[in-house]
Amino acid sequence: MIIGQIKDGIVLDHISAGKSMEIYHVLGLDERACTVAMIKNADSVKMGKKDIIKIGEVIALDFDVLGYIDPGITVNIIRDGKLYKQERLALPEKVVDVIRCKNPRCIASTEQELVHEFKLCDREKKIYRCIYCETRAGDGPGK
C-alpha cells in the first residue's frame, strides 16, 4: 500500500493498534476538508501492530488529549516535505474538560461553568482523580 508524501501536515505515528478511529473523531478530522489517511494495524518492530494518521495540513492539536488517549504517540510536523518538529507524547499531569467527574455531589458536576479537571495520581496505573472531590476517573485511558 502506498500513501503519498505530505508537503505540509502532521503524521501521528506509534498509535496503539485500534485507537486511530477514536483519535480521528476527537480531533474532528471528519469535519475538516483536508486530506486524511489512516493506516490501521500496520506492522511495527517495536509495537507489533500500530496505527498511523496522516493529516494533509498543519492543525492545532491538544497534546494533553492525545497523550491521555494514547501515551506514546509520536507527533511529526511536516513543512515543505521535511520533518520540521517531532514530539513524543506521554500521559499529561492534568487533563481539563477531557473526562467528566462521575460524582453527582462534586462541584464540577453541579456548577456548569466549572471545568472538569483531573490530575494524574499514579502514572504507572494511569489513574486520574478529580481536583475538587478526588473521585477516581477510572482505570485510565484505554480501559
pTM: 0.81
Q: From the options 3.30.930.10, 3.30.70.140, 3.30.70.260, 3.40.50.12780, give the CATH code of 9-88.
A: 3.30.70.140
Q: Domain residue spans in the chain?
A: 9-88, 94-130
pLDDT at residue 46, as a whole number: 87
Q: What is the longest distance spanned by two Cα atoms in the chain?
A: 53
Element (H, E) at 69: helix 63-69
Q: What is the DSSP letter of 4?
A: P
Per-residue pLDDT of the chain (143 residues; tens, 9 = 90+): 567 788 899 999 999 999 999 999 989 998 988 899 999 999 989 889 999 999 999 999 888 899 999 999 999 999 999 999 999 999 999 999 888 898 989 999 888 889 999 999 999 999 999 999 999 986 444 33
pLDDT at residue 2, as a whole number: 63
pLDDT at residue 136, as a whole number: 94
Q: Is residue 16 helix, strand or coil? A: strand
CA-nearest of 7, 4, 2, 3 to 83 is 7
